[in-house]
A and B are shown apart, each in its own frame.
Chain A
Amino acid sequence: MLLAVVETRKIFGGTTHLERVFFYLLALVVLVVFFVGLGLRVKKYMAGRPLDAGRFRRARVPLEKPGVSAPIPLTQTGVDIAANRTVSRRNHAVGGAHLLLFWGFLGLLAATIIVGLDYDVYGNLTRIFGGKELSFFKGWFYLAYNAVFDTAGLAAIVGAVLLAVRRIRDSKSSVELDYTRAQKPKSGYSRAAMTAGDHLFIFGLIFILATGILLQGLRIDAAGFPSFERWTWLGYLVAAGFGALGLHGSTAVTAHFWLWWVHILTALAFVAYLPFSKALHMISAPANLMVRDPGNTRRLPPPPPGHAGYLDFSDFTSKELLGFDACTKCGRCHSVCPARTGGAPLSPRDLILDLRQYADRKRGIPMVLDWEERPDQSGPKNLEGRLAGEVIEPATLWSCTTCMACVEICPVGIEHVPTIVSLRRSLVDAGEMDPTLQAALENIATQGNSFGKSSRMRARWTKGLEAPIPDARKEEVEYLWFLGDFASFDERLQEISRMLARVLTSNGISFGILYEDERNAGNDVRRAGEEGLFEMLVEKNMEAFSKASFQKIFTTDPHSFNTLRNEYPAYGLDKPVMHYSELLASLISQGRVSLSGLGKKVTYHDPCYLGRYNRVFDAPRSVITSAGCDLVEMPRNRTNSFCCGAGGGRIWMDDSVLEERPSHNRIREAAELDVGYFVVACPKDYAMFSDAVKSTGNEGRMKVVDIVELFAEASGELALAGSAPEEAPES
């Protein structure tokens, strides 16, 4: 008698009805735990301020760029998630392994859902209502299912193993995997649980995947290698392996029975564990990527209504709370942070982990092996303490340079900087700050500049110019030049300002300045947390703009550039804002000026607020290369540029506690390149790096120059100020 061969397999690994009931009860419990966990999290996000609260007065920026200041379209986020683009960025090895695991896991999830639909839903429904249990899990469908999802299984396990190997191998050497806190609590702390949780997660996953594959092998082995199971190619290979080891017949059946239960129980445990652990990122990370808003850091959100800054849990936005949950402790922000690198008590990773722990404790949400132990109730355990000042130390908050390197690299779309500024606002409101910062803010409030100079001295740098600069308040000009404090008041930079004025005048650019009416633009005032002063500065500058007639603005200072371009539109500024590097580059591209080859070997430092914040990378480079310079890129360039340490108000604070100033770190990076010139396009950079070149002992070897100095020299107008460094290599 010929038996019709039906290509299928038994789904349930148990044998008795009791086991079936047990399984269903357990599965039910697991699902309840899973959804309760998820529900607790969602309720936590709902307890935050509405998502919209962060999307502040979205006045159109005249030159809005998607992904920079405009929101990222959901379709692009979809592609980013599907391709793990944010994970692969700057680390293709980890990204590739994660992509294998990501798609492999999604495949297996789909496989499980299909089987569940067939067996638990379709099978049970037909049995109860039709009297006969039916299944579509057979025939060609079964064969294709196995062929496809075996591949997914292999991808997942290969990806997971690669990630586990990397985690073990690099645990000592990698900065990213080092869980040592940047800010050391007095009481001490332990993050052993976090490390254990990481291992539980990855090795647990590998265990579940591996037992699944072994199960397939045992099943095929026990069934006597039916030929159609060759489609279950991975299981068939494993079964062949068992066969070769002599595992046959009833032994294989028994082994399958027990292993099935082991696999099912660990898999169910994993589902229950997911919302309470690092595994949550499988849900929270894509969700957070979908709500990320690049404009948020460039154009800071206003304080919560009625509060000067963040005071307690309810001040966090839903998006921030979701972001805390999305963090996987990947450590990329920790590794790129200039504060952390310099030895300051700030790590963006630690900040997010602390805030997550604080938020979860506040909401009574338990975590499985994903917390930090402390012997006392300090830091995130201090539920009654002040959020800014006790839960998070003031020194931690003040260490941030707002360089945005963390936001840029975060694979799950966390926006650290707006949160830090919101917390700083509370400190400022309480008057808690560095005396030097206080002095700077007081100077800005009374004089409109951080130098404490009379506002009437602002245009004093123009003395000595052959052609006086038009007063934009009195005559119409094409460009309004907004200098910023450093270019106006710092003696070293005044010379460069005069050089730019001469270059523009001789190239027939119609431009003017606001003279004593220009005020500090407020970018760093705002980022230091002094929102009221920022608003006052905006009002003063807008009033000055209204008195002047011009078509466009260009700035010397990238910080002013950022706030004028991204934040002032909400207060009524409707003129395009450029950076002087763009203006110089346009002179070159329009053929209005011809530059001769300087033949200097140089490197270029991307200012945070020009490059990373506003994506102006090419204009300064085109000035450099058009001037005939051989541009050698630093290892960290463009979006990965390393901050000079001056941003976010840090320039007004004491840096002497740092082990290594970020500017020194950066100059040492450049010193490796054997270039004679360190080219900058930012007044603060000029000041910071000129000092750093001296204090790192590179004075004879490298000279800090501004792009306008190269431009001026190459256009034959002026010799480079001062002499070339003695050992400057020429290309």
Chain B
Amino acid sequence: MKIVVAMRQIADLVEELEVDASGADIDREFVKFVSNEWDEAALEEALCLKEAHGGEVVVVGVDDVDFDQTLFGALAKGADRAVKLSCGFEGWMPTAVRAEILARWLKDEAFDLVLTGVQAADDLDGQLAGVLGARLGLPHAAVVVGLEPDGEGFKVTQELGGGVTLTSHATGPLVLGIQAARQAPRYVPISRIRQAMSAGGIEEVEVEAPPARAPRVTRLFAPEAKGRAEMLGDKPSEVAARILELIRAKGVGVS
């Protein structure tokens, strides 16, 4: 079984994001880029599948700030290959462009599964699994929380909201947007990442960034703080009394 995991970098949401001079993109100069957390879940699922059923895990993505770090992390965790698609693209990359780059690279690769994160914090023009699935002409599914090969294909479980889950069966190859792996992404010790770094091993492929239709962002702005809560202070005894008052005023619960 060969599993391709499509990973990418995303602005670290821990940081305070600022809007750049154009007013239409984040200021990429100073922001820190980290691996997309759902892609990490996809990688974890791929590694678990490999450990349980054998196979090969290939991590691939479009080069971005500190993407090497993510690839070395993946190699340290147990990925067999790491491929960086370099195209010199700058600024916000639409999903459609990313999908096109990946699709062109994938056409020369044989694979059973493409796993990627269900979403990314800036995939304004759609989530990668669906767009890539359509581009490759393959069945795809999003919000995947369960994945099990059964010899002829895969059992795929999706979360449908409200606690409902759906399990379908499909023969590969498939493109899946992973919501959660069977276990939390593993910890990889820094020493292993450093070993991976000193071993090198990232394959770099020069690609071209194709044009694609995507919404034109005209303005990026911080949401207005609408309907801020009325703050009750922070003295526990007073707050407690106020809260009880409020609850009682609704005529419910406590007598």
Contacts and interface: CB of A to CB of B under 8 A. Distances in A.
Given A435-B184, A446-B34, A530 B14 contact: no
A530 B12 contact: no
A39 interface: no
A187 B16 CA distance: 53
B22 interface: no
B229 to A, nearest CB: 19
B189 interface: yes
Contacts of B194: 532, 536
Contact of B32 (A442, A454, A535, A536): A454
Interface of A: 308, 428-429, 431, 433, 435, 438, 441-442, 445-447, 452-454, 456, 530-533, 535-536
Contacts of A433: 187
Contacts of B15: 454, 456
B191 A452 contact: no
17 contacts: A308-B189, A308-B192, A428-B187, A431-B188, A435-B184, A438-B184, A442-B187, A445-B190, A453-B14, A454-B15, A454-B16, A456-B16, A532-B190, A532-B193, A533-B190, A535-B190, A536-B194
Contacts of B12: 446, 454
A213 B189 CA distance: 64
Contact of B190 (A438, A454, A536): A536
A456 B189 CA distance: 24
A173 B192 CA distance: 49
Given A446-B34, A454-B12, A531 B186 contact: no
Given A308-B192, A428-B187, A447-B14, 17 more contacts: A308-B189, A429-B192, A435-B184, A438-B187, A442-B187, A446-B34, A454-B12, A454-B15, A530-B189, A531-B191, A532-B189, A532-B192, A533-B189, A533-B190, A535-B190, A535-B191, A536-B194
A433 B187 CA distance: 8
Contacts of B193: 532
A456 B190 CA distance: 22
B32 A431 contact: no
A452 B14 CA distance: 7
Interface in B5-42: 12, 14-16, 32, 34
A384 B32 CA distance: 45
A438 B183 CA distance: 13
Contact of B191 (A431, A438, A453, A532): A532
A431 B186 contact: yes
B127 to A, nearest CB: 24
A699 to B, nearest CB: 10
Interface of B: 12, 14-16, 32, 34, 184, 186-194
A468 B161 CA distance: 51
Contacts of A536: 190, 194
Contacts of A445: 190
A429 B14 contact: no
Q: Is the interface of A mostly helix, strand, loop or mixed?
A: helix
Nearest to A537: B190
Contact of A454 (B14, B186, B188, B191): B14
A467 B89 CA distance: 45
A431 B51 CA distance: 15
A447 B34 CA distance: 10
A531 B194 CA distance: 12
Contacts of A438: 184, 187
B189 A428 contact: yes
B187 A441 contact: yes
A216 B189 CA distance: 68
A302 to B, nearest CB: 11
Nearest to A451: B14
Given A446-B12, A453-B14, A530 B190 contact: yes
Contacts of B191: 308, 429, 531-532, 535
A468 B194 CA distance: 38
Q: Which of B16, B186, B189 has the most CB of A within 10 A?
A: B189
9 tightest A-B CB contacts, nearest first: A532-B191, A532-B190, A533-B190, A431-B186, A431-B187, A454-B15, A438-B187, A454-B14, A532-B189
A356 to B, nearest CB: 29
B214 to A, nearest CB: 29
A447 B32 CA distance: 9
Nearest to B35: A446
A311 to B, nearest CB: 14
B188 to A, nearest CB: 7
Contacts of B189: 308, 428-429, 431, 530-533
A698 to B, nearest CB: 16
Contacts of A532: 189-194
A310 to B, nearest CB: 15
Contacts of B14: 447, 452-454
Contacts of A431: 186-189
B240 to A, nearest CB: 14
A100 B91 CA distance: 81
Contacts of B192: 308, 429, 532
B226 to A, nearest CB: 25
Nearest to B184: A435
A176 B189 CA distance: 38
A240 B232 CA distance: 91
Contacts of A535: 190-191
Residue among B15, B16, B34 with most chain A CB within 10 A = B15
Contacts of B184: 435, 438
Nearest to B30: A456
Nearest to A529: B189
A454 B15 CA distance: 5
Nearest to B186: A431
Nearest to A453: B14
A535 B189 CA distance: 12
Nearest to A446: B34
Contacts of A435: 184
Contacts of B16: 454, 456
Nearest to A445: B190
Contacts of A447: 14
Nearest to B188: A431
The residue among B32, B186, B191, B193 with the most chain A CB atoms within 10 A of its own CB is: B191
Contacts of A453: 14
A438 B190 CA distance: 12
Contacts of B187: 428, 431, 433, 438, 441-442
B142 to A, nearest CB: 25
Nearest to A536: B190
A426 to B, nearest CB: 10
B7 to A, nearest CB: 16
Contacts of A533: 189-190
A291 B189 CA distance: 32
B197 to A, nearest CB: 11
Nearest to B14: A454
A454 B13 CA distance: 9
A673 to B, nearest CB: 26
B182 to A, nearest CB: 15
B47 to A, nearest CB: 11
A447 B14 CA distance: 9
Nearest to B15: A454
Contacts of B32: 446, 454
A90 B131 CA distance: 72
A456 B27 CA distance: 15
A347 B187 CA distance: 27
Nearest to A429: B189
B67 to A, nearest CB: 14
Contacts of A531: 189, 191
Contacts of A454: 12, 14-16, 32
A535 B195 CA distance: 13
A536 B192 CA distance: 12
A531 B191 CA distance: 7
A494 to B, nearest CB: 16
Nearest to A452: B14
A428 B32 CA distance: 26
Nearest to A444: B190
A429 B184 CA distance: 16
